Amino acid sequence: MEISKETDFAEGQILLFDKELTWTSFDLVKKVRNIVRIKKVGHAGTLDPLATGLLMVCTGKATKLIQGIQDAEKEYTGTFTLGATRPSFDKETEVNKVFDFKDLTADDINKAAESFMGSIEQTPPIYSAVKVNGRRAYEHARKGEDVKLKSRIVEIRDFDVVKIEMPIVYFRIRCTKGTYIRSIANDFGLKLNNGAYLSSLRRTRIGEYKIEDAMNVKEFEKIIREE
């Protein structure tokens, strides 16, 4: 990605960032907007604060491309932790139930992963940005309000168990848009008659765009603001 302080961001640029842990997707958009000094900046696909990896930001006329980028296939790596559940399906909330996982085998875990291949029905986490009655689901959840989310059909094209270090399962998933890896983590625990939550997540690819070609926001700021 050839970027310099002379780049015309209003004309339109697609920027590849490696989002930092704890940043929201909009935090990154606000930072980029401040650096390039134009208002028309948007991201092409939300990445949770507790996830890292590829977040694509479009500026100026390139914001018209956001929908097409969002529709592209995604790839993730990360870890599930077995033996416990959390209401948010990740580390945002505290453990609410624990399970004995000592009898789970590698064969059990690999078979569970295989069962997710193809088109599956999943329900987004209640701690998600899905809108319910005009508000984000996580706003209801954080207030202890009961919310019902509609299930959706997504496609899991690859689900590889890369390594097992009980209770940690390392994975790589290739999937269609709208897939919640946190929901897969929770459902993965259910498949094993146990519990599981997403303990780390990194997005490595969106369509043809790869994390290897991304930069961090500090590098970007240095390029644009250097004297």
Residue 26 has pLDDT above 90, yes or no: yes
Backbone angles phi, psi at 60, to 5 degrees: 55, -130
- List pLDDT tens digits, range 150-172: 889 999 999 999 999 999 999 99
Q: What integer pLDDT is reported at residue 221 of this predicted model? A: 93
pLDDT computed for residue 116 by the predictor: 97
Beta strands in 20-98 (DSSP E): 41-43, 52-59, 74-82, 84-85, 97-98
Extract the tokens encoding 17.
């960032």
pLDDT at 40: 96
What pLDDT score does 1 carry? 62
List the domains of the chain with CATH numbers. 13-71+208-225 (3.30.2350.10), 74-206 (3.30.2350.10)
Per-residue pLDDT tens over the stretch 100-129: 999 999 999 999 999 999 999 998 887 777
Catalytic residue among 8, 27, 48, 158: 48
Which pLDDT score, from 0 to 100, does residue 189 have?
98
Q: Considering the entire predicted model, what is its pTM? A: 0.92
In this prediction, residue 148 carries a pLDDT of 81
Question: What pLDDT, on the 0 to 100 scale, is given for residue 163?
Answer: 98
pLDDT tens column, 166-224: 999 999 999 999 999 999 999 999 999 999 999 999 999 999 999 999 999 999 999 88
Taking alpha carbons only, the member of 36, 34, 42, 43 closest to residue 7 is 36
107 an active-site residue? no
72-83 residue pLDDT tens: 999 999 999 999
Q: What pLDDT sits at residue 227?
A: 46
